[in-house]
Structures are given as C-alpha cells and as structure tokens.
Structure 1
Amino acid sequence: MDPCITLILTSFLILLSFSTSYQIQDSFQKCVAIHSITLFPSNSTLFYTSKNASSYNTILQSTIQNLRFISPSVPKPLLIFTPIFESHVQSGVICAKKLGIQLRIRSGGHDYEGISYTSGFEPPPPFILLDLGKLRAIDVNIPDNSAWVQAGATIGELYYRIAEKSQSHGFPAGLCTSLGIGGHITGGAYGPMMRKFGLGADNVIDAIIVNANGEIFDRKAMGEDLFWAIRGGGGGSFGIILSWKVKLVQVPSIVTVFTVPRTLEQGATRILVKWQEIADKIDENLFIRVLIRPVNGTKTGMRTVQTSYNALFLGRSDNLLQIMKKEFPEMGLTKNDCLEMSWIESMVIIGRYPRNTPPEVLLQGTNPFKRNFKAKSDFVKEPIQESGLEGLWKRLLEEESPLLIWNPYGGMMSKISESETPFPYRKGVIFMAQYLIYWESEEKSVSRHYEWMRQLYVYMAPYVSKFPRGAYANYRDLELGMNMKPAGNNASVSASKWGIKYFNRNFKRLVLVKSRVDPDDFFWHEQSIPLEDVKKNNSGLF
C-alpha cells in the first residue's frame, strides 16, 4: 500500500478513536447526572479524563501500589469516576450497562495485577474506572461492638477510628495499613490477629452492595448466598461493595511486638525448621511471621540470607517470654527484644513505620511503600526440612531484591470450616508463603525477574499444598490463568484451573451464585468468577 494512504488511514483511525472516546465520556457523564438521586455539589470534581492530564494522572496513580502499572504502555481508563454518594455508584452501574462499557472498580489499588484499574488484554476493551476513594466514612459503635466502614477507607483509618473510641477494641485485618477495606475483605483479609479471631471476612456482620442492575442491597435483601460469596470470593465479581459492617474484637490495653533477625551464620536454617514445627500450634495470642531476604554478610562482597521474625503478642512481654522459652527457645528471645505498647501503636509498627511514629500516620490513606514487583503465593502443610531450605537459599542469593513472607496459621483459623466463607485454607495449613521480586523503575528488561519467579515457583512445588496447589485470591496472579472474552460455553471449566487454586471446593458454589446474581456477566475481569457453563439438552438446543 502507498505510504501516503497508510498514513492517512492511520490518522483517520486515531481521530475516530479519539472521537469515540470523547462520545463515551460525554454520554457517561450526562447519563450519571440524569440518574443520580443526589445532585453533584458545584465545587466537587467527580470525573477525570486524559484531557486534563495532571489531575487525571494524580487520581489514577494515587493508590497504585505496583509501579509496573503506571507505565505508558499499560492500558488506561477512558474516564475516572470518583463518586461521593452511594447513589452515584448506582448511577455509574446503570449508565455503564446502558452504554455497554466495562467498569473497573477500585477501593485501595493494592491488587497485585492491577485489574481494578487497568486491563490485561490486547487489544484492551475500553473501560471506565469507578474509584471509591471518596467514600471513606467510618462509624464506630462501641456499645454494639461494631463499625460501619465505607469501601474507600483504608484499614489503617479503620484501626485509628476504633482506637479513638476505645483502647480495648480492635479489628482483625491486614498488616499493610493502606489497604482499601472494600477489596481487602472480598479476598479474605488475613492479618496479625487471625490466629486469635480469624480473618477480616470472618468478622463481617453486614454489607451494602450495588448489584448489576444498580440496586442497593443489605445482607437481608441480598440473601445469605451472596453474603457468603462476597466475604472471600474475590473482588469485582458480584457487585460493588459500598460498605461493610464489621464486628469489633477485644484487645488488651498492652500488647507486645518484636522483630528479631537471624542470618544463616546465626543458625537461621535450624531456627526456621523449628518455627515451622510450632508456628501454627503456639499460643493463639501470638502471631510470628517470617520475612526472608538476602542481605550483605559480615565479609565484604559476600551475601547471606536473613530471616526476620516479626511478631504481635496480645499480652505483656513477661507472659510472652514464658511462652517463647517453653515453645521456641531456639530463637533466643530476650526482654530487650520486646516492645510493649497499645494495640493501635502496634498496628503502626506492624505496618512498617518507624518506631515512635504517631498513630495519625494511619489517616494519610495512601501507601508510601511503592515499587515494581511480581508476586505468587502458596500454602504449606508440612514443614520444609533443612535440605529444602538450603536449596531455597541458593535461589534467593541469585536475585537482587527478592522477599519471602511466611504467615502462620492455626488457632482460630483451624476452628472455622473451609466452607464457612469462600476462603478455604484453614485446618492443616502451617503457613501461607508469599514470594515477591522487586526491581527498579529504570530497568529496561525485567523478563529475567519473571523467569526467576517462575523457577522459584517450580522449585517450591514439592513442599506446598497439592490437589489443588493453593493460592491466595488477594494475591492475584494472572499466570495461573485468565478469563477470555467472550467466554463461550466452557467459561467455568476454563476458569477452574485458577479458580480451584484460590477457592478449592468453594469455586463451584461461587459460580452458581455468580450465575444467579449477575447472569449477564456485567461484573467481569480477567479473574472474575465466571458464569455456569451452558449445557445442551437432549434436543440439541440450549
């Protein structure tokens, strides 16, 4: 073809694309205004487009945790809608459905594969980002031992507002305090008090959700099947969570935290073998996770592996030391290692802020720890012996910035049925393993990091859960598999290769709930729960 004709055609297609994008943006904004019960305040901005690049990029990047999704090559939303009233969310659903445009729903932006604000498909379908960040009201009711919290609030904000009202109440949710509560609970929500009280999802009393028809339901109206599904069945599949009503738990006035590092030269391998033997069996008031990474050794130019034991104990240090002396003397915990403080202060420390940082830091609502990374997860049911750990150390020392995080189970986690919520990994699990690899933004080639992660995942296969090999839904991993659009008649069969890893036997029930509450598959993304497969009857007709 003549180069001039090619250039003309390309220019025409670009102009057509811009024109179509503008039409969608304009139509959506007008439609939302018409359908909103609540009027838009004159001094409030609810819509952001790339025409105003500065404000658009500020909002888009405000809660992105994984910096690999801010790259110019990553698909971006046509428009960002930031509702300030619940009725605005209803209108957003109604209008997106009316216009045939996909919605991506974001509360905190911590999803590891960025599916709440971008697209993993080429070419990407046009979509609008509905960002819940302005819906962050929290109403703590101490006499009722409960709190209503809107989906855009972070768990750090929730922790702070609870502590404002009471020093003897808390909520069992995540360690990273910038997590958006809306999405966090939809995947389960584990944290440093789960051995005592279970997951965040186990402590939800009620919820408000917008369904695929733009209707608002509470627990009674949505029914127990849907209420079951949203507490651990993954975000973005069944509707838009507007708020959760959570059950508060009792915490002591003084808790104890410690972080104790041990390198290979200090007996880290032997200590970690022992940790695996006691991690899920020790006092349920004690949560000891392990952070494992390569560090510089004592000799110049030499690297070693460091295991850091990071713990929260719901009690005073004297009691903690007695427990550790009896159950885990190998670690050699001393009084000087222990820090006593209030529960809210412990959440600041557990959230990786420096000691003596005031709790008000939890109100900033954004994540200061942002990097490029890729992650995977596993569940471990049998201790990994020294030979397996030594092979793991060799692999860690091959990379520059890997991190493993091992979170202990047991306690209340072993007492709750695997079918109580969609989160299935309960009894028999010693710990959940998270693998992360980080890299700097200026690196041009990152394929070697992905390949290292895949090889690590293969290496760990003999040591982790099998049939299925489990994975945590909140640690999305698109390498486990993706939905295709259109899905065809084998949607749930295709999706089961990743769905069973996340949800085990609960996956089938999730598919049935999805098929009933969202039969048009409006709430769809790369790893959303699929519809039940359409089967042919005897006549050959559907």
Structure 2
Amino acid sequence: MILSASINQSFIQCFISKTNSSQNIYTTNNTSYNTVLRSSVQNLRYLNSSTTTKPTAIVTAATFADVQAAVACSHLAGLGLRVRSGGHDYEAMSYVSSGEVFIILDLANLRSITVDKDFAFAWVEAGATLGEVYYTIAKNNNTVAFPAGICPTVGAGGHFTGGGIGTLMRMYGTAADNIDDALLVNSDGKLLDRKAMGEDLFWAIRGGGAASFGVVLSFKIKLVSVPPIVTPFNVIRNLRQNATELVQRWQTIAPKFDEKLFIRVLAQTADDGSNNKTIEAAFNSLYLGSRNELLSVMEKSFPELGLKAEDCTEMSWLESVLFFAGYSGRSPDILLDRTPEYNSSFKAKSDFVKKAISKEGLEKIWEFLLEAKDEPLTMIMDPLGGRMDEISESAIAFPHRKGNLYNIQYFMRWFETDTVVHERHLGWMRKMYEFMQPYVSSHPRTAYYNYKDIDLGEGQGRYSADVVWGAKYFKGNFKRLAYVKGMVDPVTFFGNEQSIPPLSIKH
C-alpha cells in the first residue's frame, strides 16, 4: 500500500504540473472512487472478483491535454494504463487487470460529435456512445447514418477500433471500414492525425483495437445514405413452426440477399406454452426501404418464413435503432442515457460459419441447448455477404470477409453474484463452445475481436506464443499488427491480457 501511495503521489504531482489541476483524478482514498469506477461497468463478475486488480486511480479526462498528461505521467510513475470509453470490453480489460498496477483513463467526458455541413462526414470523440452518435447524426439529417452496432451504450472508442458490425454492414461494411481519419495519443504523449501516425498505424486501429497502440481520441467517420423510410420486423418461430428448417434455409440465403436486407437470427430455449421447453428462433430484420418493397423481396427470396404485412412497421432509421435496442415506442432521447442497462454478469464467445450447418446438425445443437438446466444462453447469428464480401481481408485489420456465411455470438447473462453460479455458467459456456467445433470455421477457428474471449489465450508478449489466439481474431493480419506494435510501442506501454505482442521487422 505504501508503494501504491508513492506511485499515486508521483503520478498526481506529474499530472498537476502538466494540467494545473488534480480535480479529475480519483484515487482509492477518494469517496467518489467507487462511483466513478462503476459508472460504466457492464460485467460485474470481474468487478466483484477477488482475483482481479482494480485501478489504483482513475483519470476522467476533460480535454485532449488531460489524456496526453495521463499517458506521460503513467510512463514516469511506472503505472500501467487502461483506456475506457463505454466500459463494454467483454473481459473487462478496460477497468480491471490480472495483477498489473494501473490507472484507468476514462474518456466518457470526451464525447463531442460534429456533423459537417454537407452531411458527408462527422468527427466523433471516443467517449461518445453509439446511441449519442446515431441520435446526433439523425437530428442533423434523417437520411444519413453510420454503420455500427446495435447496443446504444457501447462506446465509440472500443467499438470502432475493434471492427463494429451491425445492421448496415451488408450495405456499407463495418464501422472501421468507414473511418477516414483519427486523432491518437501515442506512447510518447504526442497527438497524431492520420498523416502523422502513418498508414501502418492507421490500418492497425481499424479492426485491431486501439488498446495495444495508443489512445484514440476522435474519429472522422464517413456518413452513409439511408432512405427516409426503413422497415424492420421480428418474426418468432419455434420447433413446431419449422424453426429448424427455416434456420437451415436462412444460412444459405441471408448472405446472398439484396444488400438492403439484413436478417439475423436469435435462437434460445423457451416455454412452448405447455410447460415444455422448445427452441425459439427470432428472425430479426432491417430493410432499407418500404414495407411493400420488403414484402416483395421476401416473397421472392424467403417465402418459407411467411412474412405478413402486419409483421412489418415502417419507420425512420433512428426509430429502427430504438427497435433493435429494445426501445420501440420510446422517445429517441433514451439513446442519450449512458447508464448501464443491466446490473449483471455475462460471458460471450464467438464463431464464424463458412459452410451451412445441416438440418441434422442444427437438431443436435438444439438438443444440446434443451438438455441444459438454467443456462440462459442466446445464439445471435449475424449474416455477412454483400459489401462485406467485396472488401479484402487485409484492407484493414478486421479480416472476416468473403467465405463467411455468418457470425455467431454465444451470449449468456445472469444476475446471481455467487461464485459457484459464475463457475457453473462459465463451465457450461465452454462446453457449448467445444460442442460447436465441428460446425464452424477451422485452421484457425476464428472469432470476432469485439466479442473478447480470454479463454482463447492470454498474451505472453511473444509473437510465437500469442499467434495461437491472435490468428483467431485477426487471421493473417496478426503478423502485420505485431510489426506495427513493434514500431510504435516496442516496450508494450499500452498493454492488457490480450494485447498485440511487438515483433521487430528483422523477424
């Protein structure tokens, strides 16, 4: 504790000397420390764990200069640095560590969003949430949007740099595909734009995450066109209603649909109304056009679903954001609420599917889910294809392109705080992941970086060891990411339990 206090004092003195203020620093002795720490925590199982280390201090940056000072002073004091924008890191690497003494650099106050007068671009600070981004864009012009994720409280900083898949990706690609410039503070505390950082680093922070390379403060994003009217629907079918056959069919046609049509599937156990368990598959969709156009497309492409006019509701694109977030009928102002929605724990894993799973295979998967007791797992399947097939695997660090039919996120949330319950859920999730192995990609079995999964492996700081898990997230791009790391941060000042290892060019 004496050592920790000494380090904190060294950091605080340095920070004051550079900013003339300490009011944005919260140490463990500060009465507001826990409130600030928990302000955007999404996964309580890490915060309540005795095996994780909490930050020795938190800096709530109010200016870019605060960020530069925090980086420089962390270096000087010998402290690790974790950057948090929305707190959605699936393995909580933005707010706890596995033993490293560190500070949190919280960017929540850096949330400015400026849309240019021609509605072609916007500058978005890293602390802004997706809800704030969508709301601000739509309030400026309701026929432009940005292709990113569904959850409105996710922070732009982590989401954009990790890829950013969502309902518009089949039309426009990922969030990272639509970043035109960025401002980043490097390990020396210098503020760099795209030109100053160079194309290698700019490539890396689009899909490779920023946590290994620097602190991204702001993004210049390309806005995309959406029609005044879009049409979502959510149609649920259970096993008696041919859910298996519908999902089997969906696998092969969803990636080939018109790019304006996005249909994902959420599969989970449910009561069939007779106190028996069944599988429900929710076909959750967005069409960039009118209801009549959608019905015509569905009649030609997926008549088996039996979509009816009453299943579809025409609305603005911003209203569709509310629809997918579970806020249908609410005021768009709710998108500005940054409060964590759930006071809970969760675990997730991910896969990519390259070959459609057979009807028999799906039946085995349903059987596995139905045999489980009190395991609240949802399989969320997002189709690729369209624009995603047109961009090469190496265009940016995000590599999951042509050849993938869809992504699966295995997601489980629970509210119990007992450690035994945690371990039971985690153990079952791992069994589910093992069970799925024959049905998904292989060599490597790929995963989506924004669905962080520490079970894939912890960083050893050596490329030869870390490629085992790194190739799962980044495929062949992992080596280039390691080269970039070796160029910009060879001593791994920016690091966490799954950070990119440095690799020198001579290797």
Q: By the TM > 0.5 criterion, same fold? A: yes
Q: Distance in 2 between matches of 1:167 and 1:525?
A: 39
What percentage of residue pairs aligned between the two structures are identical?
Answer: 48
User: Which of the numbers 101, 122, 136 marks the counterpart of 1:147?
Assistant: 122
SS in 2 for 1:257: strand
- C-alpha contact 1:82 1:133 (8 A) present in aligned 2: yes
User: Which of the numbers 481, 486, 489 marks the counterpart of 1:510?
Assistant: 481
Q: Distance in 1 between matches of 2:407 and 2:42?
A: 21
SS in 2 for 1:51: coil
| 1:376-525 equivalent positions in 2, closer than 5 A | 376-397=349-370, 398-400=372-374, 401-445=376-420, 446-484=422-460, 487=461, 491-525=462-496
What is the CA distance between 1:367 and its match in structure 2? Answer: 3.0
Match of 2:500 in 1: 529
Q: Which runs of 5+ in 1 are unaligned?
A: 1-16, 537-542
- Report whether the alignment pairs 1:308 with 2:308: no
What is the CA distance between 1:533 and its match in structure 2? Answer: 6.2
* TM-score between both structures, scaled by the size of structure 1: 0.91
**Counterpart residue type for residue 217 of structure 2:** L
Q: Which runs of 4+ in 1 moved over 4 A?
A: 533-536
Moved more, 141-150 or 202-211: 141-150
SS in 2 for 1:52: coil
Q: Distance in 1 between matches of 2:49 and 2:468?
A: 31
Match of 1:29 in 2: 12
- Report whether the alignment pairs 1:214 with 2:189: yes
**Counterpart residue type for residue 360 of structure 1:** D
Match of 1:82 in 2: 60
Match of 2:26 in 1: 48
Q: Distance in 2 between matches of 1:158 and 1:439?
A: 29
Structure with higher Rg: it is: 1
Match of 1:330 in 2: 304
SS in 2 for 1:279: helix
* TM-score between both structures, scaled by the size of structure 2: 0.97
Q: Which runs of 5+ in 2 are unaligned?
A: none
| 1:102-181 equivalent positions in 2, closer than 5 A | 102-119=80-97, 121=98, 124-143=99-118, 145-181=120-156
Q: Distance in 1 between matches of 2:306 and 2:219?
A: 41
Q: Distance in 1 between matches of 2:395 and 2:100?
A: 36
SS in 1 for 2:42: coil
What is the CA distance between 1:279 and its match in structure 2? Answer: 0.8
Provide, for residues 2-44 of structure 1, a one-character-per-residue CA deviation record: whole Å limited to 9, x for no partner. Answer: xxxxxxxxxxxxxxx2x222222222111012123xx54xxx9
SS in 2 for 1:437: strand
- C-alpha contact 2:11 2:76 (8 A) present in aligned 1: no
User: Which of the numbers 85, 93, 114 marks the counterpart of 2:71?
Assistant: 93
**Counterpart residue type for residue 62 of structure 2:** I
**Counterpart residue type for residue 107 of structure 2:** L
What is the CA distance between 1:462 and its match in structure 2? Answer: 1.1
- Closer/same/farther in 2, CA of residues 429 and 318 from structure 1, 3 Å limit: same
What is the CA distance between 1:365 and its match in structure 2? Answer: 2.1
- RMSD (CA atoms): 1.5
What is the CA distance between 1:396 and its match in structure 2? Answer: 1.4
**Counterpart residue type for residue 378 of structure 1:** D
SS in 2 for 1:497: helix
- C-alpha contact 1:295 1:305 (8 A) present in aligned 2: yes
What is the CA distance between 1:235 and its match in structure 2? Answer: 3.2
Q: Distance in 1 between matches of 2:104 and 2:416?
A: 24
How many residue pairs were aligned?
A: 503
SS in 2 for 1:520: coil
Q: Distance in 1 between matches of 2:496 and 2:35?
A: 24
